[in-house]
Amino acid sequence: MIVETLSVFPEMFEQVMATSILGRARKKGILDFRAHDLRDWTHDRHRSTDDEIYGGGAGLLMCCPPIFEAIDDITSTGPAPHVIFFTPTGQPFDQDMALELSGYERLVMVCGRYEGFDERVYTLADRCISLGDYVLTGGELAAMVVTDAVVRLLPGALGDENSAVEESFAEGLLEFPQYTRPASYRGMEVPEVLLSGNHGAIAQWRRRAAIEKTARLRPDMIDTAPLADEERAYADTIRADSD
């Protein structure tokens, strides 16, 4: 997969993209990452990418010309990209969207700064994404989050291919509780079933524990989770007890 970012601070990406799963994915050739400097498409001596807002208002707004020219150049060669802008008005990012994005051959993520973008740049977007109802200084962190969530779903990116399948949200539930050595620590014990070696019993315990955890911590997810009738009744009991 090719992932490209367009930003006034392209240097922010290199450390993250060279570390851990993302770094290994690049070394394996699974991820081809490129960070573009938006200032390369400016034409004044100050390399300006922003200007005052028409009609007045606090702060500065990112201008159309550099972004349009950059997208024209970046998309003129190679596979057709899926162009993403980050904005508070965008579609909330979640695991289902990460899975969908992992199916694209090429992503181009445009990172805003200041008070955001001139509204006209959104005509370039295939998708607008929001990470949540809060404000970040710039879109670079959002692009890193999306890249991490997407790349870990690519075949070969994780050491254990089952890891992505068993993670939180993969089946509409939070991930079941997990433990490692020691089996007993400060009076807290690992559930006996996990030490039994009975893989069938372990699978049943994990499923029930995931349902319980989701019902307690994210009851909003239970309504849409794919549960059998007995499981839903159990989840409703847990949710009722938590209220």
229 and 188, same structural domain?
Answer: yes
Q: Could you tell me the CATH number of the domain that includes residue 132?
A: 3.40.1280.10
Range of the domain at 181: 168-242
Residue 93 lies in a domain: yes
pLDDT tens sequence for the chain (243 residues):
999 999 999 999 999 999 999 999 999 999 999 999 999 999 999 999 999 999 999 899 999 999 999 999 999 999 999 999 999 899 999 999 999 999 999 999 999 998 899 999 999 999 999 999 999 999 999 999 999 999 999 999 997 665 665 666 768 999 999 999 999 999 999 999 999 999 999 999 999 999 999 999 999 999 999 999 999 999 999 999 987
The residue among 151, 184, 201 that closes a domain is: 151
- CA pair distance 210, 235, nearest whole angstrom: 10
Give the CATH number, domain containing residue 233. Answer: 1.10.1270.20
Q: Are residues 66 and 120 in the same domain?
A: yes
Q: Is residue 132 part of a domain?
A: yes
Quick check: is 44 in a domain? yes
**What is residue 115's predicted lDDT score, i.e. its pLDDT?**
85
Asked, for residue 162, whether it belongs to a domain, the answer is no
Q: Amino acid letter at 61?
A: L
Please give the model's pTM, rounded to 2 decimal places: 0.89
Half-sphere exposure of residue 30: CA atoms within 13 angstroms, side-chain side:
21
| Residues facing 185 on adjacent strands | 188
The structural domain count of the chain equals 2
The b-or-e profile of 165-197 (16+ CB within 10 A means b, else e) is eeebbebbbbbbeeeeeeeeeeeeebeeebeee
Last residue of a domain, one of 122, 151, 180: 151
Helix axes 199-217, 229-242, angle to 10 degrees: 40
Domain-located, residue 113:
yes
**7 lies in a domain?**
yes
Residues 144 and 214 in one domain: no
- CA pair distance 230, 203, nearest whole angstrom: 16
Whether residues 136 and 177 share a domain: the answer is: no
